[in-house]
Homo-oligomer: A and B are copies of this chain.
Amino acid sequence: MIIVLAETANEADIRHVVDRIEESGRSAHLSRGVERTIIGVIGPDDPAMQDMFETLPGVESVHRVTKPYRLVSREFRPSGTVVECGHGVSIGGSELAVMAGPCSIEDERHIVETAIAVRAAGANILRGGAFKPRTSPYAFRGHGERALEFLANAGRESGMPVITEVMSVRDIDAVARSADIIQIGARNMQNFILLDEVGKTHKPVMLKRALSGTIEEWLLAAEYVVAQGNPNVILCERGIRTFETAYRNTFDINAIPLAKSLSHLPVIADPSHGTGKWKLVRPVAMASIAAGADGLMIEVHPNPDHALSDGAQSLTFESFERMMESVSAIAAAVERRVPLHASASAG
């Protein structure tokens, strides 16, 4: 931490700052310039300390010089993390992860049919919502535990690992039993208790970025999970909230290469939420892979105009297939590949 004193700071102010640094078990390094004095703090950075120093008389500004996360930083594991998800699928290697399926699991036939179709088109992970966060208390909130069963069956039948969201500590056990990957939704990125608890499982955790979450906050949320002993974290960029109302969210393409340079964790792109408009899903999926994403999460529905949620951003089977062809061409251009199945219906 570096503390810059105001031009008006006097010796007593400087002494006070140094005392507080030493009280905290750190040491102070003074540098007296012509116009102002600067104090380097030798010892670990702590955001709360920054706050505190800013209140001291004579202090003009406080600058942190180290990153607040450690275990998830690229320096900690320069080679990059590959997360094993079961059924021979891993995330972070040269084969892209393609998660596809409906926003909500509506019934068993619906999810099995979708699983088979998306796998045939090249998906390797099945997504489906059982517990749905909904802005309105009057909207459909998912079929809960019953839907978890349907999802697990569809995963087995199609031979794919499955991912679904957990919204509450009380549902972690049930979700961990049925799912291969646990999703933490954007609205729960800073539900710190939930992060702690999924950190105590050994399941892969996909952590979506919050609507107004900074890259630093996102990585600190991942640090919560890893700090509890679970290193299998996957980041997911799903669009942020900006002034622009032409789309539901603004997909932050910068976040992909930046997150990958700051952290060793794999990064997935969700252009369905990142745009909110199915017509934009294909080009933004292509862009994400071009920018270095390790995979995609895509909402697919047999019949989007009958979907119980998020119809406007869901692809049909046909448009998903078209998207996969385009993504495949981009993947080749960046020396990666989309998943290849020996036989689309094999378990």
Contacts and interface: CB of A to CB of B under 8 A. Distances in A.
**How many of chain A's residues touch chain B, expressed as a range?**
35 or more
Given A243-B243, A254-B247, A310 B133 contact: no
A108 interface: no
Given A63-B2, A290-B286, A291-B287, A243 B246 contact: no
A333 interface: yes
Number of copies of this protein chain within its complex: 4
Interface string A39-64: 01010001110011011100011010
Contact of A38 (B2, B138, B250): B2
Given A38-B40, A169-B168, A254 B309 contact: no
A14 interface: no
A211 interface: yes
Nearest to A185: B190
Given A215-B246, A243-B214, A246-B258, A138 B253 contact: no
B244 A240 contact: yes
Given A243-B241, A304-B55, A311-B51, A217 B169 contact: no
B333 A52 contact: no
B212 A212 contact: yes
Contacts of A240: 242-244, 250
A84 B316 CA distance: 39
A138 B220 CA distance: 10
Interface of A: 2, 4, 7, 20, 29, 31, 33-36, 38, 40, 42, 46-48, 51-52, 54-56, 60-61, 63, 65-66, 68-69, 75, 133-141, 167-170, 187-188, 190-195, 211-212, 214-217, 220, 223-224, 227, 240-247, 250-258, 261, 274-275, 277-280, 283-284, 286-292, 304-314, 326, 329-330, 332-334
A42 B31 CA distance: 11
Contacts of A220: 135-137
A315 to B, nearest CB: 10
Nearest to A329: B333
Contacts of A140: 48
Closest 7 CB pairs of A and B: A212-B212, A287-B287, A290-B290, A329-B333, A287-B291, A257-B283, A253-B253
Given A224-B137, A242-B243, A287-B290, A36 B54 contact: no
Given A191-B191, A286-B290, A214 B245 contact: yes
10 contacts: A51-B311, A187-B190, A187-B191, A191-B191, A212-B212, A214-B244, A215-B246, A240-B243, A258-B277, A283-B291
B193 A136 contact: no
A52 B2 contact: no
Contacts of A216: 246
B306 A52 contact: yes
Contact of A250 (B68, B250, B291): B250
B135 A47 contact: yes
In the complex, which of the residues A135, A141, A278 has the most CB atoms of chain B within 10 Å of its own CB atom? A135
Given A33-B42, A167-B192, 18 more contacts: A29-B31, A38-B65, A48-B308, A54-B312, A56-B305, A135-B220, A137-B224, A137-B227, A167-B193, A187-B191, A214-B246, A240-B244, A242-B250, A251-B253, A286-B290, A329-B334, A332-B333, A333-B333
